[in-house]
Amino acid sequence: MPPSRGSGTPQGDRAPPKKGLEPPARPMGARRAPSPGTGQARPAALTSSRHCFWHIWQYQRSFCSPLDLMRLAMALGLRKSDFPMAAAAAAALLPPHTPSPTGSGGGARPGSTSATPPPSGGAHARCGRADLQRGCGGGAAMFARGAAVALYQPQWGQVRNMATLKDITRRLKSIKNIQKITKSMKMVSAAKYARAERELKPARIYGTGALALYEKAEIKAPEDKKKYLLIGVSSDRGLCGAIHTSIAKTMKNEIANLSNAGKEVMVVGIGDKIRGLLQRTHGNYFLLTFKEVGRRPPSFGDASVIASELLNSGYEFDEGSVIYNRFRSVISYKTDEKPIFSLETVAGSESLSIYDDIDADVLRNYQEFTLANILYYSLKESTTSEQSARMTAMDNASKNASEMIDKLTLTFNRTRQAVITKELIEIISGAAALD
């Protein structure tokens, strides 16, 4: 048992070696007594090789397959009784050992019936086994070639398919930096979400109050009216899941349905993201676009500016709708739409004609105020949904980064252990070949 680190327990929590692999008690380099009936002794090189193999078995067996350990043992000249596995498993892994009739290694030739054992002291060129009592012939040079054939080819295949330690270290550093960014963005989004949720409750009063007139008066645009206005509410910032793509998908469907119905459709984009999503396929439908949205909490002044630009654009629409994301919970939102009508449509409604004392100027001012209220309500709902979606997305990104870091750390440790094992095997094989 190797020396422990400051206590009487083995190093770390590694399992103790199995029976049959205890380190030799005699000094390194001492010769073993002659085996019965052979008159030969196991050389000192095998004692050193057995000690080195014991260290590899104890510290590196978690990163090597049993087949690699078997080949290493055969290359070092150890007997089957020294292998740390059952006899049945060893027999299944070891190829059949047939002596070469010519003493040049490689096993019996096809069609040969001679079973004369070759001179001792060689190695089996096909399986790499060094049997010092009845070798396959070929001497130390054949032993070295057998060890190289049996041992190095599997290691080449494993190392070739693994990423280098430098590449893994670079990837780990990049993912850790990304994780720091996602965690910071999650904290910022959480603070903005808390503020947006507090401001959403009073903003909903504006939206419900503005739509009360449309619902009670049952205002509808006549069927012969052809001009329709679509307003999509998004923002200038991303990394918030499918917030913007859901708005773009709904607007594409509305444009297709209204165009098939024979209506003239124009689009107003609030936020740079909705313009980028629709510019390539529906760029000719855009009437106005508004930027610098979402960088700060929306106010009623922002909604008033948008409403004034719409009314002063010169486009006389008959009806329209505002498409936005309605906030439901921290992890849920729904794409919804609210109707808007022009002054002519509201004034010409049959249900509104019962109010005889409504002045035209009062109705126009109320219509402008209603449009600003609906836009303000939609902006607040979309902002709250965006911040909650970004907070959830950054939380998921941080968790995924943690999982990737764990996997890459495990890969790094395995690759490092494989490199160490490969270097140890090269040193041991070279020393055994020289002996």
Q: Residue 392 corresponds to which tokens in the numbers above?
A: 């959830």
The per-residue pLDDT for 222 is 78
The per-residue pLDDT for 358 is 74
The per-residue pLDDT for 393 is 96
Single out the residue of 99, 85, 92 nearest to residue 131, CA to CA: 99
Cα–Cα distance, 263 to 226 (Å, whole number): 5
From residue 378, give the alpha-carbon distance in Å to each of 29, 34, 134, 265, 315: 86, 95, 90, 21, 22
The per-residue pLDDT for 401 is 97
Cα–Cα distance, 186 to 189 (Å, whole number): 5
Single out the residue of 107, 96, 95 nearest to residue 137, CA to CA: 107
The per-residue pLDDT for 382 is 96
Query: Residue 323, CB half-sphere, CA atoms under 13 Å: how many?
Result: 25
HEC string of 226-289 equals CEEEEEEECCCCCCCCCHHHHHHHHHHHHHHHHHHCCCEEEEEEECHHHHHHHHHHHHHHEEEE
Single out the residue of 95, 90, 42, 99 nearest to residue 69, CA to CA: 90
In 67-80, which positions are buried (b, 16+ CB within 10 angstroms) versus exposed (e)?
ebbbbbbbbbbbbb
Instruction: Note down pLDDT in tens along the chain; length 435 residues.
Output: 444 444 444 344 444 444 444 444 444 444 444 444 444 444 444 455 566 666 566 655 555 666 676 666 666 666 655 555 444 444 544 444 444 444 444 444 444 434 444 444 444 434 444 443 333 433 433 333 344 333 334 444 444 445 588 999 999 999 999 999 999 999 999 999 999 999 999 999 988 888 888 888 788 877 788 899 999 999 999 999 999 999 999 999 999 999 999 999 999 999 999 999 999 999 999 999 998 886 889 999 999 999 999 999 989 899 999 999 999 999 999 999 999 998 888 887 777 766 666 777 888 888 899 999 999 999 999 999 999 999 999 999 999 999 999 999 999 999 999 999 999 999 998 888 887
Kind of pairing between the strands at 286-290 and 227-233:
unpaired
What is the model's pTM? 0.61
**3-state SS assignment for residue 210:** helix
Cα–Cα distance, 199 to 202 (Å, whole number): 6
**Distance from the first to the final alpha carbon of the chain:** 26
Cα–Cα distance, 288 to 219 (Å, whole number): 26
The per-residue pLDDT for 118 is 42
Kind of pairing between the strands at 227-233 and 319-329:
parallel
Cα–Cα distance, 46 to 38 (Å, whole number): 17
Cα–Cα distance, 247 to 253 (Å, whole number): 10
